[in-house]
Amino acid sequence: MEPLTSKKKILEQKPLTFAERIYLPAIAKGLSVTISHLFKKEATIRYPEVQREFSINFRGLHSLKRDEHGKERCTACGLCALSCPAEAITMIAAERKPEEKDLYREEKYAAVYEINMLRCIFCGLCEEACPKEAIYLDGPIVPSDYLRKDFIYGKDKLVEQPLTNK
């Protein structure tokens, strides 16, 4: 059959020379290549003592942010739970009492806010959906654990950023 282009390389299969047939020179060359790798620095990164840097857009652990007065931004509107494709977020709203005015920005706040880290796919849709700029995915990688129940992160444990100056 005629080739369709003229770019085809014609493979010449010459019979092996004597040096090629005894394999030994090729083996010696291969051995020298391999042994040179013994003296090179290895490329392994010893996690978790040494960790590589993430890019700026990396999405890690969630954190609920506070405003400049230290009050929690989250108002338990539920838009993040609505937008989550994995249905990982659940919350229970509560009304702010008069003595808690310094703790929460608006009259409605999330008394219980839970994210199931095993369901979460770290897509960032909750970050995009939040109208109060309350949730951001700027934490590290979620550490591993043994039991399923330990992966449901509540508000006090890890889904909160502590007060900066108060």
Partner 1 sequence: MDIAFVIEKFILVTIIFVITLVIAMYSTYAERKVAAFLQDRLGPDRAGPFGILQPLADGLKMFMKEEIIPTNASKWLFMVGPGLAMLTACIGTAVIPWGSPIVVNDRIVPLQVTDINVGILYIFGVVSLGVYGVMIGGWASNNKYSLLSAIRAASQNISYEIAMGLSIIALLLVTNTMSLKEIVDQQHGWHWNIFYQPLGFLIFIICAFAETNRAPFDLPECETELIGGYHTEYSSMKLGFYLFAEYINMFVSSAVMATLYFGGYNYPGMDWVLMHTGPVVGPLIGTAVFFTKIFAFIFFFMWVRWTIPRFRYDQLMHLGWKGLIPLAIANIIITGIVIAIIEKF
Q: How far is the CB of 23 from partner 1 (least distance, A)?
A: 9
Instruction: Report in angstroms how near the CB of residue 21 gets to partner 1 at its nearest.
Output: 9
From residue 15, how far is each of 10, 20, 32, 37, 53 by CA, in Å?
16, 9, 26, 32, 53
Q: How far apart are the first and last CA of the chain?
A: 82
**Cβ(64)–Cβ(104) below 8 Å:** no
Footprint of partner 1 on this chain (CB under 8 A)? Answer: 27, 30-31, 33-35, 37-38, 40, 42-44, 46
Closest CA to 154 of 118, 111, 112, 95: 112
CB-nearer residue toward partner 1: 39 or 146:
39
Residue among 27 and 86 whose Cβ is closer to partner 1: 27
| Nearest distance in Å: CB 41, partner 1 | 8
Q: Which is nearer to partner 1, 27 or 118 (CB)?
A: 27
Give the residue with the Cβ less far from partner 1, 47 or 146: 47
Query: What minimum distance in Å lies between the beta carbon of 44 and partner 1?
Result: 5
Nearest to 139 by CA among 160, 114, 121: 160
With residue 114 as reference, give the H or E element that holds it. strand 108-116
